[in-house]
Chain A
């Protein structure tokens, strides 16, 4: 707990305090502040620092040059891209999908919005693991539905406990959201819990929305399991995925939804009337990523794994604890030993240490002692960031 500094003792600027209760706005306000600091090391946003692979760039270039980028693409997505995503999901995830079971979206972000608007009615409840990617809050709120938080715990590396899921179910529950690997905790839901949650969903006739946007970044011995591939689950599971994180392609804005074709057809009608098709050139880029060599993903995975190790050691030296990160590219760390609440601490680290890190409160109200560090900078920058953090802490501890 915070020993020395009560909340509010460190004076944070008005523009931060004004948005402190809204996770998404808080993250962006911190990014704005960091933008004004020329030598800031940004360990905030989940935007890979690595480049989009060259064969993807070449494919985009070709599509622009030969005019394919100028031709309209169906709302559901480029047929070849839907086919390629389906094939990869069959091969890598064991999800029994065909082309018509895939909708291409404007990033995973749009997918999560469309899903909530399409599936949830006012008054419905959806179970959401806490801490969480708070963009879900807004999408659920827009649909007039209610988010019911399911707690997760550092003791078991933030695994999603089936018993906690079941305890949160009410007659109004319509869906269970699973984000694995998790943003912000980097937890990967264990096979035992995932199978048990699947069984609960079937027993209570619930839908599962499985956000697997970080699926390719899972570190052994953890294993990535797709709920939709478990027996009897495909017909009640909507899988969300994308190219942003896997291939360092956040700027291309390509995501997808995989689910039974009749659902995809309806979701496509909603997309047509809300956001329309995604830019053709982005889809040709994604097609090259989906069908091209995949060794680049293994290469990126090894880079992130090493960075996570470096960060873990550095944080341990600072006296911070954490759940063991099993996936994604975040370390979610408990900074209580600093004696400074995380909201104030992240501001201090930025102002004095020129290091951008998001406080846990940007991912859930109760995470007042936690920080989410993304390791999306080269190792020398991470080491420098740790040094700067140590300096700030030494001054304030």
Chain B
């Protein structure tokens, strides 16, 4: 490296040091490190996206908040879940990483931030860049003394795959009300199992006016790679986040928005959950055969395995041709996260089987 190259590289490294290295999916390995179901989008969805592309609807910047019918679809789905909203309180974002970052970066600036454990590492960049002061706590135990600040509720939690029990949510809501907290409800992980007691945080009494909800279209298999998500909520918490999103990327790629629109109108969530759940069962049976404990999943998107030496299992998986998420890096030490594969299910199972044999055999 030339000396001057290290001028630039060195400066950036200072900032990058606080962040985990970027995952690097390659053609030779099966990447199961994500928190969304992989797979293929449906022929109907592809047709809709192609139509929009061929009509040149994707050539130009869209409205900054996103194409109007998509904003309306999100508003309608929030309203149906007990959070009445109109489309002016919705903004379409790039992937869920972007939505999380802009939400946290805008709302946590100079604030005390309350983060229930296990705290997913996905908020780290936003928190660091915002100069936030973070307090982690156990949502089941004593709640911290607080007066003002920001609460982040991840539901389902991206590092456990579990939903927060409604009673716990109600307790957090009462506390947020008394302590005057703003809330980011990161509800982007899914699909949720039909029997899981999932409740939108903003639908709890008094919470709509202090909550920003994050959602994603990546729960539709195959749509994860299109990187399209959304934020919606009360003006007070919505506006600064919307403005930051627009200043960072102007608007979200139009083709992705049209694909999401097709998903919003054509995809049956129940069907998807049932289809992905079947594949998830195959992984759970493999774990059962190996007598490896795992967290009871509330989402069908991934499985969280309890394993003391998570990094060793992750390395063994990599050697066997599968990348999985190491909980030590994701924010849930003592676990690994394995996304539910699609086309590669048989190969993935074989590789996981080999890795589990390898780790246990040593």
**Which residues in A have some Cβ–Cβ distance to B below 8 Å?**
24, 28, 45, 47-48, 51-52, 57, 60-61, 64-65, 67, 69-76, 106-107, 109-110, 113, 117-119, 135, 138-139, 142, 205, 207, 232, 235-236, 238, 248-253, 259-263, 265-282, 285
B86-100, CB < 8 A from A: 94-98
Which residue from A70, A259, A270 sits with its C-beta under 8 Å from B225?
A70
* Known interface pairs A109-B249, A277-B227, A279-B228; A238-B8 also in contact (CB < 8 Å): yes
- List 6 other contacts, CB 8 Å, given A113-B249, A118-B15, A274-B129: A72-B224, A75-B24, A205-B7, A274-B98, A275-B101, A282-B255
Separation in Å of the A308 CB from the closest CB of chain B? 21
Which residues of chain A have C-beta atoms less than 8 A from B59's C-beta?
A: 51-52, 248-252
Looking at B34-42, B71-79, B166-174, B207-215, the stretch in contact with chain A turns out to be B34-42
Q: Which one, A106, A109, A118, A248, contacts B11 given CB within 8 A? A: A118
B146-201 residues with Cβ-Cβ distance < 8 A to A are none
Tell me if B56 counts as interface (CB < 8 A to partner A): yes
Chain A binding surface, main DSSP class: helix
Say whether A61 contacts B8, CB under 8 Å. Answer: no
In the complex, B21 has a CB within 8 A of chain A: yes
B333 at the interface (CB under 8 A from A): no
A281 touches B226 (CB 8 A): yes
Q: Nearest chain A CB to B155's CB is how many angstroms away?
A: 20
In the complex formed, the residue of A with least CB distance to B225 is: A280
| Closest chain A residue, CB of each to CB of B254 | A251
CB distance from B264 to the nearest CB of A (A): 17
Which of chain A's residues have a CB closer than 8 A to the CB of B64? 28
Which B residues form the contact surface with A (CB < 8 A)?
Answer: 1-13, 15-16, 19-26, 31, 34, 38-41, 46, 49-50, 53-54, 56, 58-62, 64, 94-98, 101, 105, 122, 124-126, 129, 222-228, 247-256, 259
Chain A residues, CB < 8 A from B20: 269, 272-273
How far is it, in angstroms, between the C-alpha of A117 and the C-alpha of B53 when the chains are bound? Answer: 33
8 A-B pairs in the complex with CB atoms less than 8 angstroms apart: A74-B24, A106-B249, A142-B129, A252-B254, A253-B252, A266-B15, A274-B129, A278-B253
Checking A51, A74, A113 against B22 with a beta-carbon cut-off of 8 angstroms, the contacting residue is A74
By the criterion CB–CB under 8 Å, are A251 and B249 in contact? Answer: no
A138 to B248, CA, bound (A): 9
Q: Would B15 and A72 count as touching, CB distance under 8 A?
A: no
Asked if residues B253 and A253 are in contact (CB atoms below 8 Å), the reply is yes
CA distance A24 to B228 in the complex (A): 24
Instruction: Give the top 6 A-B pairs by smallest Cβ distance, nearest first.
Output: A262-B9, A276-B97, A235-B4, A266-B12, A273-B125, A272-B22
Kindly state the separation between the CA atoms of A323 and B247 in the bound complex, as whole angstroms: 29
Given known contacts A251-B61, A266-B9, A274-B125, A65 and B256 CB-to-CB distance under 8 angstroms: no
Q: Which residue in chain B gives the minimum CB-CB distance to A272?
A: B22
Is the beta-carbon distance between A71 and B225 smaller than 8 angstroms? yes
Q: Are B22 and A76 in contact (CB under 8 A)?
A: yes
**Bound-state Cα–Cα, A109 to B248, Å:** 6
Contact, CB under 8 Å: B250 / A107:
yes
Check if B56 sits within 8 Å of A51, measured CB to CB.
Answer: yes
Chain A residue with the shortest CB-CB distance to B49: A64
Q: Is the CB of B8 within 8 A of A259?
A: yes
Residue of B nearest to A65 (CB): B46
Residue of A nearest to B31 (CB): A72
Set of chain B residues within 8 Å of A135, measured between Cβ atoms: 247
